[in-house]
Amino acid sequence: MESEERHSIEGLRSGRESAYRQLFEQYYQRLVVFAHRYLEDLESARDVVQDLFVDLYDSRQSISIETSLKSYLYSAVKNRCLNQVKHEQVKEKHRNMSRSEVNAPDPNLEEIMDAVELEARIYEIVLKLPEKCRQIYIMSRVDGKRNNEIADQLNLSIRTVETQISKALKSLRDNLLPLEG
Amino acid sequence: MDDELLMKYLTGSLTPEESETMRLFLKAEPANREYLEQMEQIWKSSGSIREFQSIDAARDWNSLHGRFGFPKQDRELHPSRQIRRMTYRVMRMAALILLAFASAFLIYFYTGNGRFSKLDWITLDATGQPEEITLPDGSKVSINTGSRLVYPAEFKGLKRTVKLEGEAFFEVARDMDKAFTVMVADEVFTEVLGTSFHLREDPGKKRVLLNVLSGKVAFFPKGKKKEALVLGKNDHAEYNNGHIQQQVSFDLNFLSWKTRTLIFDNVPLPQVLEQLGKHYRKEFYIMDMGIDTLALTGTYKNQKIDEVLEEISLVLDIAFEETDGRIQVRAFDFQKNEE
């Protein structure tokens, strides 16, 4: 996909609205989820990512991306989050007159990025499931409901609930395996 | 390991016997262990689904949009030119269509580096409903919802050129001196002198479909005029990855968005649902295996989707149930509906 990526970067440099819009549509949700791992609230995570996109546009003339667009974005978000945390910690430090070191967390970028990318792909696949199937899978995995609880709540047989969860797992398996790395 | 066992394991509903079966399965081969670990990983990583759901990219883009400094696009029509050029509008029989491939010059031309500045071009987007427009030479174009037409305020130069993204129906005014060119998907050109035809590009599939409604058409790739296909009224052809072919079967409903009529002549249910889905912008899911061999014959003129579905359900003994824009299709359960 190298030429596609070069095309996107060209679009960003030229300040084309469609290039920014497409980039946003593709990466916004996952970058916010990623930022949320560093920052405490979702609101700040959204702000950080939104600021990044605007700054990207403002300094588009000097865009220089050595690795990939994806790595660039994730690493930029991580740096902004760490700066924000450091900033908060420094403020806190002064407020508390504490002498403890300001310890910015620095987990492995690649690891968390890969994890979030996988979650984003899972989200995309689950969105495409048929209505009932998706609903049941989410109630089971995300809400942690037992199969019979789901059956009662949706007025279905336990058999149907189990079949739908199996269908969802099959769809996920077919679209994701083998997992990378 | 079958899906049911896997599901029971992940949802914590294994019976003791099933647990034992699972244990044996994992012991049998290391690959099985690896498979289970991967599925567990997927199960584990599904936890953030609601978090993703709570982030509304479209809404945040809209509120963010103002902070960028994107240039505006000009969408005005030019009525004075329409009236002046209307007098030249004549529809005749013979026309030639040349299908040329993208030339570096024309791409250079349209990426704004050529002599036409951005200000000369007008963009028409059909959002929410089809749009109709009359071009500076009197040609009429109907653009389907979600499609876009880019055309100049005036047709200067040797050709009349417009750019299409999506789907449109063209009635081209005759001009023997200036060929009318439609650029689609940055690769395919359709050139006519005066005729009416329908063009649709399949985004991402590198496929362009052409239907001729009136006039005669010679259809050939650039540089291969001797191998031309001559098409007339109701003929249609497809350009697919460099190859041009005349089609045999015909989707009677390709203009349904314009005529507001759907016609089915012994069409299998999956195709019926595909065409209904395109026309009414809904998604259909067949939930029962037995019904996908049913075939439908009928004509539905200017009807709302509820009426059409009701009629179809009576004729084929199937049931439609809508939730959140998705419609599930099942065999009609006579027992259930006895209440």
DSSP secondary structure string, B163-188?
EEESEEEEEPPP-TTSEEEEEETTTE
Structure confidence by residue, pLDDT tens digits, A48-89: 999 999 999 999 988 888 778 999 999 999 999 988 888 777
Average pLDDT of the residues of chain B: 76
Determine, for residues B6 and A165 on separate chains, whether the beta-carbon distance falls below 8 Å. no
Residue of higher predicted confidence among A103 and A138: A138
Nearest to B308 by CA among B254, B262, B253: B262
Residue B43 three-state SS: helix
**Using CA atoms in the order A39, B59, B200, B256, what is the torsion angle rounded to 10 degrees?**
140
A144 vs A140: CA distance, rounded Å: 5
Q: Hey, what amino acid is at B296?
A: L
Residues 11-70, chain A, touching B (beta carbon < 8 A): 15, 17, 20-21, 24-25, 28-30, 32-33, 36, 42, 46, 50, 53-54, 57
- Provide Rg for chain A, Cα atoms: 21
SS3 content of chain B, % helix, strand, coil (to 5): 35, 30, 35
Domains of chain B in start order, with CATH, are: 1-70 (no CATH), 79-246 (2.60.120.1440), 256-338 (3.55.50.30)
Q: Are B198 and B254 in contact (CB under 8 A)?
A: yes
Residue B191 three-state SS: strand
Closest residue of chain B to A145, computed from CA coordinates: B11
- Residues with Cβ within 8 Å of residue A177, at least 6 apart in sequence: B35, B38
Structure confidence by residue, pLDDT tens digits, A125-147: 999 999 999 999 999 999 999 99
Residues 93-122, chain A, touching B (beta carbon < 8 A): 115, 118-120, 122
- pLDDT on residue B228: 62
Asked if pLDDT for residue B60 goes beyond 70, the answer is yes
DSSP 8-state assignment for residue B284: E
- pLDDT on residue B336: 61
Count the helices and strands in chain A (H runs, E runs): 8, 0
Considering the domain A2-96 in this protein, what is its CATH number? 1.10.1740.10
Would you state the CATH architecture of domain A128-176? Orthogonal Bundle (1.10)
Nearest to B326 among A119, A131, A165 (CB): A131
Global pTM reads 0.49
Q: Tell me, what's the ipTM?
A: 0.88
What are the sequence ranges of the domains in chain A? 2-96, 128-176
At residue B291 the predicted structure's pLDDT band, cuts being 50, 70 and 90, is confident
